[in-house]
Amino acid sequence: MNDVKIGIVPFSFQTPDYRRLLKKFTGFHWQHYRGDPQYIPLLDYEYLGFRLLGIRGFFEADNSFFQHAEMRFFLAMRGEEIVGRCNAFVNRNHNEYWQERLGFLGQFEVIDDPAVSGSLLEAAGQWLKSKGMEAVRGPQNMPINEATPGVMTDGFNSRPVVYYNYNKPYYARLLTDAGFAPIKRVFSWEIPVHGVVSEKLPRVAQKVIERFAITLEPWGKRPLEERKQEMLEIYNDAWGENFGFIPFTKKEFYTIIDDMMMIMDKKMFCFLYIKGEPAAFIGAVPNIAERMAPTALTRRWEFFRAARMFLSMNRIKGLRLGYLGVKKKFRSLGLDGVMVWTMKMEAQKLRYEYCDIGWVLEDNFKTNRIVELMGGKPSKTYTIFQKPL
């Protein structure tokens, strides 16, 4: 079977049988990870869309991402069998913001065969080069700024967390074999909600609140539209200088908040104000991966997997802290410590058991130190790769 020639099938939104090919592209993960208990996939609806649940798919042509991006999909075939997949995309917003010609690789899944992965990555790279790109970075899965970038290189036996990618351990080797080099690592930390923390943190947090007359507000204190605007303003300001970050457009960010409302616990969001000005916010959502494991009944019936998740939300024990921002001008005041401590106290009241914080850049020493003071332990490591074209 290995003597059969590898074929690469490229397609795009303009391809006549795009929907059929996209279903094959999306469905590859089912066979690729069959029997792996660590792999808890998102709903296929997240990619293909499902209007009944109000879900617009990441790979639907009318997704707001494609107002400033172009994508090509690739399937690696050995005869009639799919043996790999990836997409390549050009994000004009990224290149305008960072003033570079960088393309991206995403949704990279492949069997452990350098010939297959090499052909797949070469096809993606050639397409990006034809678009004027000078380098390719990744993997960067959709949705941008939400899914953890890179491939997992440590923590393969750690707890599955929603939007934290899981992949085969050999992916980093295949990327290296294809000429990619690691350029950055990001960490995930798991904090026990009821664990012992350094005595220094609550003492310092209280002093910061008093010194700067900080006002803390829960989610429901203000109208939804005002909350959305505050979060967008803070988030783009806070993350603007971070490696690889691309400022959200209003439409993209508001869509994320609307989708998040389906699963959020409003008590796990907190907003900080200094002299009436929104200065920072923090938020965690229930780790729905706990309730999304495929079963024999739901493996090919995603509606039942979604229903099972929604109906058992009250049984979720953990949180994913994925929403956090401090405006630059307030960055040196210690607000991040105040927020993390406040969230820990609230999580205890609500009887959560753990919280996973990610993704934290390896050179973000301040945040990594705060997490250590909270009793956090390294959970996962992701490595981002890049290759010149």
364 compared with 21, residue with greater pLDDT: 21
170 and 301 in a single domain? The answer is no
What confidence tier does 3 reach under pLDDT thresholds 50, 70, 90?
A: low
DSSP-derived letter for residue 139 is: -
44 and 169 in a single domain? The answer is yes
CA distance 281 to 279: 7
130 compared with 61, residue with greater pLDDT: 130
The pLDDT value given to residue 4: 65
CA neighbor of 123 nearest in space, from 7, 5, 21, 4 = 7
131 and 145 in a single domain? The answer is yes
229 and 113 in a single domain? The answer is no
Residue 110 lies in a domain: yes
Residue 1 lies in a domain: no
CA distance 382 to 155: 9
CA neighbor of 194 nearest in space, from 338, 319, 292 = 319
Residue 88 lies in a domain: yes
Residue 389 lies in a domain: no
Question: What residues are paired with 187 via a beta bridge?
Answer: 360, 381
The pLDDT value given to residue 1: 46
**What is the identity of the amino acid at 16?**
P
The pLDDT value given to residue 294: 83
Q: How far is CA 176 from the centre of its chain?
A: 23
The pLDDT tens digits of the residues spanning 195-214 come to 776 677 788 888 999 999 99
294 compared with 236, residue with greater pLDDT: 236
Tell me the average pLDDT across 265-269: 94
Neighbouring residues of 118: CB distance < 8 A, sequence distance ≥ 6: 177, 178
Give residue 81's domain range.
6-185
205 and 174 in a single domain? The answer is no
The pLDDT value given to residue 63: 86
Using the predicted structure, report yes or no on whether residue 334 has a pLDDT greater than 70.
Answer: yes
Using the predicted structure, report yes or no on whether residue 375 has a pLDDT greater than 60.
Answer: yes
Percentage of the chain exceeding pLDDT 90: 58
Specify the long-range contacts of residues 264-267, CB closer than 8 Å, at least 24 apart.
Answer: 265/319, 265/350, 266/218, 266/219, 266/220, 267/218, 267/219, 267/346, 267/350
The pLDDT value given to residue 304: 83
What confidence tier does 182 reach under pLDDT thresholds 50, 70, 90?
A: very high
The pLDDT tens digits of the residues spanning 49-104 come to 777 666 777 888 888 889 999 999 999 999 999 999 999 999 999 999 999 999 99
Using the predicted structure, report yes or no on whether residue 2 has a pLDDT greater than 70.
Answer: no
The pLDDT value given to residue 299: 58
**Which CATH number covers residue 276?**
3.40.630.30
294 and 321 in a single domain? The answer is yes
By the 10 Å C-beta count (0-12 exposed, 13-18 middle, 19+ buried), 199 is classed as: exposed
The pLDDT value given to residue 373: 74
The pLDDT value given to residue 205: 86
Tell me the average pLDDT across 369-374: 76
Highest mean pLDDT out of 110-124, 200-214, 367-381: 110-124
Torsion, Cα of 235, 322, 268, 375 (10° steps) = -120
> What is the domain count for the chain?
2
The pLDDT value given to residue 366: 75
The pLDDT value given to residue 296: 67
| Mean residue pLDDT across the chain | 90
